Amino acid sequence: MPEITMPRLSDTMEEGVIVAWRKQVGDKVANGEVLAEIETDKAIMELEAYDEGVLERVLAKEGERVAIGAPIAIVGDGSGAAASAAPAAAPAPAAAPAPAAGSAPAAAPVVAEKSSRPKASPLARKLAREAGLDLAEVTGTGPGGRIIRKDIEAAAVPSPAPAASAPVQVSGDYEEVPLTSIQRVAAKRLTESKRDAPHFYLTSAVDVTELLAFRGTVNNAVQSAGGAKVSVNDLLLRAVAITLRANPAVNVSFAGDKLLRHNGVHVGVAVAVPAGLVVPVIRDTDRKAVSEIAAESRDKAERARDGKLRADEMSGGTFTVSNLGMFGIEQFSAVINPPEAAILAVGAATPELKLVDGEVTERKILRLTLSADHRAIDGATGAVFLQQLTALLENPLRIVA
């Protein structure tokens, strides 16, 4: 009997959580059909069957954490499913009298048809399970009535309960909240990064007054052509990629007794999601126009929040940008995302008085902080990178040239 094992669905995955089984014991399975939804350290992904047959046994329950390579199900010819489905101690029914000759055979008992499973996104199923919601009682507002995250969040709003049914309060002043797989792996890897990689930090104050005006001009042009709006972060990603291409000594990873100097510039963008923090990667960022970067970063950020990103879309980054400017944070230092050797923290653009040509004038200033691994990048190398990035952002026409 072919045994289905927990697959490695990402390069950093060590175990997975069974979010939901799409097939039940006794169901026929075709090659390529989805058997289950699995939460990895990066996203919720679909597990496809590689053999045809019948799902005979489920060895891992929904919500169970399983190590890579451990068996989770068995697909066979169906005989095993029939045996496991038969009740162990059910009494044998009394023999029915044989029908008289010539009489019509008795009608076979009608078996109730299993109701169809509600259509829902993998993230919605996970959130429903955590909230103890029955998907059959949730109204979907997505395409074709599909249940999406906001439907679960709306249904999870607690209604007043009678005092008699109030749950027993756990002793102490806290509530235990289990970490998601993404949070657990992030905690482990970032702890290792902060412990093993000697971080150093460089901060630059960038005058982005011209950049903000340039963004307005760009958006007027792209919107009149039916394109999507470009954000400051999109321009920043393009500028970072160009500067990395000119400074290959920053586009590296530390690998023990050697450095890996990457040929491609693949910039990751930190995105906060309900399950934790994920980093979608825009591959070959230096070769893409700002409009392409804008469309791709927006698409991946939305799919990251819905738990629909593939593992390969969150792997292979060579540098990461983390932007908290939209929250009003003026400056911060980020922890390096291993195996990369650097990460750029972006703050908010704030009005400040600055001396320009002998006159005090109001300008928009944005602070960038580069966190670098001193094993792979020295101070001067990081300083040159940040100096060139600052010059590029202060002359925005060069970003699209």
- Main-chain phi, psi angles of 322, to 5 degrees: -120, 115
Mean predicted confidence (pLDDT) in 208-224: 90
Higher-scoring residue by pLDDT: 176, 93? 176
Mean predicted confidence (pLDDT) in 277-283: 93
pLDDT digits 0-9 by tens, 365-377: 999 999 999 999 9
Higher-scoring residue by pLDDT: 233, 274? 233
What is the pLDDT at residue 336?
97
What is the pLDDT at residue 366?
97
Higher-scoring residue by pLDDT: 11, 364? 364
H/E run at residue 229: none
Mean predicted confidence (pLDDT) in 253-277: 92
Higher-scoring residue by pLDDT: 353, 40? 353
Mean predicted confidence (pLDDT) in 294-301: 93
**Confidence (pTM):** 0.67
pLDDT band at 156 (very low <50, low <70, confident <90, very high): low
Mean predicted confidence (pLDDT) in 299-310: 86
154 pLDDT exceeds 60? Answer: yes
pLDDT band at 130 (very low <50, low <70, confident <90, very high): low
What is the pLDDT at residue 171?
52
Alpha-carbon dihedral sign for residues 75, 79, 82, 87: negative
Q: Which residues contact 389 (CB under 8 A, 6 or more apart)?
A: 204, 239, 240, 243, 368
Mean predicted confidence (pLDDT) in 76-87: 61
Q: Which two tokens stand for residue 347?
A: 């703050």
pLDDT band at 309 (very low <50, low <70, confident <90, very high): confident
What is the pLDDT at residue 160?
38
Q: Which residues contact 268 (CB under 8 A, 6 or more apart)?
A: 279, 280, 281, 282, 314, 317, 319, 320, 321, 337, 340
135 pLDDT exceeds 80? Answer: no
pLDDT band at 177 (very low <50, low <70, confident <90, very high): confident
78 pLDDT exceeds 90? Answer: no
Mean pLDDT of the chain: 83
What is the pLDDT at residue 52?
86
What is the pLDDT at residue 117?
65
CA distance 222 to 62: 46
Higher-scoring residue by pLDDT: 165, 219? 219
Q: Which residues contact 288 (CB under 8 A, 6 or more apart)?
A: 238, 241, 282, 296
Active site residues: 374
What is the pLDDT at residue 153?
65
97 pLDDT exceeds 60? Answer: no
CA distance 3 to 72: 8
How long a stretch of residues is the chain?
Answer: 401
Q: Is the peptide bond before 339 cis (omega within 30 degrees of 0)?
A: yes
What is the pLDDT at residue 184?
82
Mean predicted confidence (pLDDT) in 120-143: 71
360 pLDDT exceeds 90? Answer: yes
What is the pLDDT at residue 45?
81
What is the pLDDT at residue 49?
84
Q: Which of 27-41, 129-143, 303-317 has the lowest mean pLDDT?
A: 129-143
Q: Which of 22-26, 139-143, 203-207 has the lowest mean pLDDT?
A: 139-143
CA distance 222 to 286: 20
